[in-house]
A and B are shown apart, each in its own frame.
Chain A
Amino acid sequence: SQTIHQWPATLVQPVGSPLSLECTVEGTSNPNLYWYRQAAGRGLQLLFYSVGIGQISSEVPQNLSASRPQDRQFILSSKKLLLSDSGFYLCAWSVGGRGGTDTQYFGPGTRLTVL
C-alpha cells in the first residue's frame, strides 16, 4: 500500500533562517506531488505541484521554492523565512492527471512557526 511521510512534524525557525521540508511517498511510481499551505479559516492553498522529476509548477508567487530530486521525493525550501511563512504545510500525491479524476492523498503535515 502507498504511504506518504513528511518531516519534521513541527518546526520553529527565526525570521531570515533557511527552510527545508521533506516529503516522500512509498508504494507508487511516478506520482504527481503537491505542496499545500493550510491556514485557519482559509482552506488549502496549492503552492507547488510536480508531474515528474525536476518538473515543478508554482501556483502563487512567494518566498518559497520546491524541488523534486527523486521520483518520490518532494522538498519545500526557503532561503530566508518571513513571519508570513508560518502555517501548516501539507504534501499530497495522486496518480493520473494533475488532480484529474484521481484522489489526492495527504501526508501528516508540518507545523511551521516563524518567530
Chain B
Amino acid sequence: AQSVSQHNHHVILSEAASLELGCNYSYGGTVNLFWYVQYPGQHLQLLLKYFSGDPLVKGIKGFEAEFIKSKFSFNLRKPSVQWSDTAEYFCAVNALNDMRFGAGTRLTVKP
C-alpha cells in the first residue's frame, strides 16, 4: 500500500512569515493530490487539489501547492501567513482509487 509522509508535525510561525509544509508519497504511478485543512472546532475541508495540468495549484485563502513528480512531493505554500491560518493541515494522495492521508501538520501562527 502506498504511504503519505508529512515530516513536520508542528510548525510555529509569526504572522507574515512564509510557510511551506512538506508532503511526500510513495506511489510511482498516476496520483491525485489533495490538501485538507481543519480549523479549530471546524470540519475538515478541502484547501486545494491536483488532478492534472499545471503542477502549480492555487487554492483558497492564498494557499498554493506544487506537484513535483520527480520528487514525489506536493508541498503546500503560503507567502505570508495570518493568525487565522492556525489549523491542522493534512495531505492526501489517491492512487488506484485508494485514498491515503498523512499524519497532519499542526500550524500555530503567533500574532
Contacts and interface: CB of A to CB of B under 8 A. Distances in A.
A103 B49 contact: yes
Interface residues of A, number: 19
B102 interface: yes
Contacts of A103: 34, 46, 49
A52 interface: no
Contact residues of A: prevailing secondary structure:
loop
Contacts of A101: 32, 51, 94
A109 B88 CA distance: 15
Q: How large is the interface on B (under 10, 10 to 19, 20 to 34, 35 or more residues)?
A: 20 to 34
B34 to A, nearest CB: 7
Interface in B59-111: 90, 92, 94, 97-104
A41 interface: yes
Contacts of A36: 101
Main secondary structure, interface of B, reads strand
Contacts of B103: 41-43
Interface string A85-111: 000001000000111110111111100
B99 A99 contact: yes
Interface of B: 4, 6, 9, 32, 34, 36, 42-46, 49, 51, 90, 92, 94, 97-104
25 contacts: A41-B9, A41-B103, A41-B104, A43-B6, A43-B90, A43-B101, A44-B92, A46-B100, A90-B44, A98-B97, A98-B99, A99-B32, A99-B94, A99-B99, A100-B94, A101-B32, A101-B51, A101-B94, A103-B34, A103-B46, A106-B36, A106-B44, A108-B42, A108-B43, A109-B44
